[in-house]
C-alpha cells in the first residue's frame, strides 16, 4: 500500500481488548500526527470475560457479547482492514497478510513505521487429547453456547472438574524480571467454580461438593498473592470444593474423566478446561520473540532490538498472567510512548512503565461477584479481595461502558473502579 502523506504509519495487529484500546488511545495521544491502520481477521470484539454470566443465565453468549468496533475506528479516522496476518518481517518493517473477505485472496504486504502487536494467543485446545469430544470451556461464544446446551439438556448431575492445562511460558535473557506461572490465567477457573456451584444449587442438582478445581501448579491462582489465597483457599475448602494441585498438566480427557500428567485422574461427567495460551505459529523463531514466540518487551512494551516494535496484551511475553486488565494498562503506556516519538507537543512528556497487577471482577452467581486487586505476586503490597453485590455490578457496568465507548475507558475509569471497589462493601 502506498503512503498518502509523510506521516508515520502505526500498524496495529489484532483488535480485541488490547488492540482496540491501543488504537483508540494512540489516536488520542498522537492526534493527527500519525496514520493508524488496524488489522484483524474479524470485525467485532469478543467480550470474553462475561461469557460465563450469559451461559449460566441460559442465554447464548453470541447474542450479546460480540460488539462491532468499526464505527469507533471510523470516528477516529483510523483505517481498518479485515485480514489474516500471516507473517511479520521485522527487518524490512512489513507485515504479510491475506484479506479474508473472500476465499482465494492473494497475500499482500504492508509497510509500517511503528508496529503494535496485539494478536493475543492461540488457545491450544487442539493439543489436548479428547477435548473435542469430551471437553468444555468458556473462552469464546461458540464454546460457551456448547456448555449452555450441555448444562440445560444433557447434564445428569455428575461430578465436575474445572481447571487449567500447563502454560509454557517463554524465556529470553532480554526480558525484564517476570514471575513464572504454570497456568496462563486462573481467574476464570476460580470464577467458574463459584458460579457453577450457584447454578447447581439453583437447579437443585447439588452444590460446591460436586466440583473439583485442579491446577498444574503448586497452588491455584498463584498470581492472586499469598494474602488473598490465605483467605480464598480455606473458604473454598469450607464450602466443600475438591481441590487438586501439582497435576503438571492434562494428559487426556475421556468420557468418564480426566487424566493428568502426574499419573493421577479425576472422575467427572463435565470437564471444563483452560488450555495452554500458545503464541501463533508464525510468531515462533522471530528475532523479536522469546523461546515460545511471545513478543519480547520491557515494561514500556518496547522491543529492545527493534525500536519500532511494541506489543500489548496476551501476545506480549511480560503479560503473565494472560489478563485483559494488564493488556489495557500496557495499551495506555504504548500510546504515550508513541506520542513521544511522533507528536511534537509530547516529545518531552514523561511516561511511566506498566505497573503489573491483577485487577479482576468475577461472577459468583445470584448477582454477586468477587473483586481482586493485588500486586503481591510482583513484590508489591496491594492485596484487596471483596465479595458481594458491588463487584457484580462493576463487572456488568464495565461491559456496558466498554461497548458504549468502544474500548475507550476514560483514563480515570480504572483507578475509580479500583478506589470504589477497594473501599466500599455491599
Ligand X SMILES: Cc1cc2nc3c(=O)[nH]c(=O)nc-3n(C[C@H](O)[C@H](O)[C@H](O)COP(=O)(O)OP(=O)(O)OC[C@H]3O[C@@H](n4cnc5c(N)ncnc54)[C@H](O)[C@@H]3O)c2cc1C
Q: How far is the CB of 314 from ligand X (least distance, A)?
A: 4
Instruction: Rank residues 346 and 409 by Cβ distance to ligand X and give the closer one.
Output: 409
Instruction: Rank residues 314 and 376 by Cβ distance to ligand X and give the closer one.
Output: 314
The binding site for ligand X (CB under 6 A) comprises: 14-19, 39-42, 48-49, 51, 84-85, 118-120, 138-139, 185, 187-188, 280, 313-315, 322-325, 327, 360-361
Q: How far is the CB of 326 from ligand X (least distance, A)?
A: 7
Instruction: Rank residues 188 and 206 by Cβ distance to ligand X and give the closer one.
Output: 188
Instruction: Rank residues 212 and 417 by Cβ distance to ligand X and give the closer one.
Output: 417
Q: How far is the CB of 386 from ligand X (least distance, A)?
A: 15
Q: How far is the CB of 184 from ligand X (least distance, A)?
A: 9
Q: How far is the CB of 95 from ligand X (least distance, A)?
A: 10
Instruction: Rank residues 7 and 41 by Cβ distance to ligand X and give the closer one.
Output: 41
- Convert the chain into a string of H (helix), E (strand) and C (coil): CCCCCCCCEEEEECCCHHHHHHHHHHHHHHHHHCEEEEEECCCEEECHHHHHHHHHCCCCHHHCCEEECHHHHHHCCCEEEEEEEEEEEHHHCEEEEEECCCCCCCCEEEECCEEEECCCCEECHHHCECHHHHEECCCCHHHHHHHHHHHHHCCCCCCEEEEECCCCCCCCCCCCCCCCCCCCCCHHHHHHHHHHHHHHHHCCCCCHHHEEEECCCCCCCHHHHHHHHHHHHHHHHHHCCEEECCCCCEEEEECCEEEECCCCEEECCEEEEECCEECCHHHCCCCCECCCCCECCCCCCECCCCCCEEECHHHECCCCCCCHHHHHHHHHHHHHHHHHHHCHHHCCCCCCCCCCCEEEEEEEECCEEEEEEECHHHCCCCEEEEEEHHHHHHHHHHHHHHHHHCCCCCCCHHHHHHHHHHHCCC
Instruction: Rank residues 328 and 336 by Cβ distance to ligand X and give the closer one.
Output: 328
Q: How far is the CB of 350 from ligand X (least distance, A)?
A: 26
Q: How far is the CB of 97 from ligand X (least distance, A)?
A: 7
Instruction: Rank residues 49 and 225 by Cβ distance to ligand X and give the closer one.
Output: 49
Amino acid at each position: 500500500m502506498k503512503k498518502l502523506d509523510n506521516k508515520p504509519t502505526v500498524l496495529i495487529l489484532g483488535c480485541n481488548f488490547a488492540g482496540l484500546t491501543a488504537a483508540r488511545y494512540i489516536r488520542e495521544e498522537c492526534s493527527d500526527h500519525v496514520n493508524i491502520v488496524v488489522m484483524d481477521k474479524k470485525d467485532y470484539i469478543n467480550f470474553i470475560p462475561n461469557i460465563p454470566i450469559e451461559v449460566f443465565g441460559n442465554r447464548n453468549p453470541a447474542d450479546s457479547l460480540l460488539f462491532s468496533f468499526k464505527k469507533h475506528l471510523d470516528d477516529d479516522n483510523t483505517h481498518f482492514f479485515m485480514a489474516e496476518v500471516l507473517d511479520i518481517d521485522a527487518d524490512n518493517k512489513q507485515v504479510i497478510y491475506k484479506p479474508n473477505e473472500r476465499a482465494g485472496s492473494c497475500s499482500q504486504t504492508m509497510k509500517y513505521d511503528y508496529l503494535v502487536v496485539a494478536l493475543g494467543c492461540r488457545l491450544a485446545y487442539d493439543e489436548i487429547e479428547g477435548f473435542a469430544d469430551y471437553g468444555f470451556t468458556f473462552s469464546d461464544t461458540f464454546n460457551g453456547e456448547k456448555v449452555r446446551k450441555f448444562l440445560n439438556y444433557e447434564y445428569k448431575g455428575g461430578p465436575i472438574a474445572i481447571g487449567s492445562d500447563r502454560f509454557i511460558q517463554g524465556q529470553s535473557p532480554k526480558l525484564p524480571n517476570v514471575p513464572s506461572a504454570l497456568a496462563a490465567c486462573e481467574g476464570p477457573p476460580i470464577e467458574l467454580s463459584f458460579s457453577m456451584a450457584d447454578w447447581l444449587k439453583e437447579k437443585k442438582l447439588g452444590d460446591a461438593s460436586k466440583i473439583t478445581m485442579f491446577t498444574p501448579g503448586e497452588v491455584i491462582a498463584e498470581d492472586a498473592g499469598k494474602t488473598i489465597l490465605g483467605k480464598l483457599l480455606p473458604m473454598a475448602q469450607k464450602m466443600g470444593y475438591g481441590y487438586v494441585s501439582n497435576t503438571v498438566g492434562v494428559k487426556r480427557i475421556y468420557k468418564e474423566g480426566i487424566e493428568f500428567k502426574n499419573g493421577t485422574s479425576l472422575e467427572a461427567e463435565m470437564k471444563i478446561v483452560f488450555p495452554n495460551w500458545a503464541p501463533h505459529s508464525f510468531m515462533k523463531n522471530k528475532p523479536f520473540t522469546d523461546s515460545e514466540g511471545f513478543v519480547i518487551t520491557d515494561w514500556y512494551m518496547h522491543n529492545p532490538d527493534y525500536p519500532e516494535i511494541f506489543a500489548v496484551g496476551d501476545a506480549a511475553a511480560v503479560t503473565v498472567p494472560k489478563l485483559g486488565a494488564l493488556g489495557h494498562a500496557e495499551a495506555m503506556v504504548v500510546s504515550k510512548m508513541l506520542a513521544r516519538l511522533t507528536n511534537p507537543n509530547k516529545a518531552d512528556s514523561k511516561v511511566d512503565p506498566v505497573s503489573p497487577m491483577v485487577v479482576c471482577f468475577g461472577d459468583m452467581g445470584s448477582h454477586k461477584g468477587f473483586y481482586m486487586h493485588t500486586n503481591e505476586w510482583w513484590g508489591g503490597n496491594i492485596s484487596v479481595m471483596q465479595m458481594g453485590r458491588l463487584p457484580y455490578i462493576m463487572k456488568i457496568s464495565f461491559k456496558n461502558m466498554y461497548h458504549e465507548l468502544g474500548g475507550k475507558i476514560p483514563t480515570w475509569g480504572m483507578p475509580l473502579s479500583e478506589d470504589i471497589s477497594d473501599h466500599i462493601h455491599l
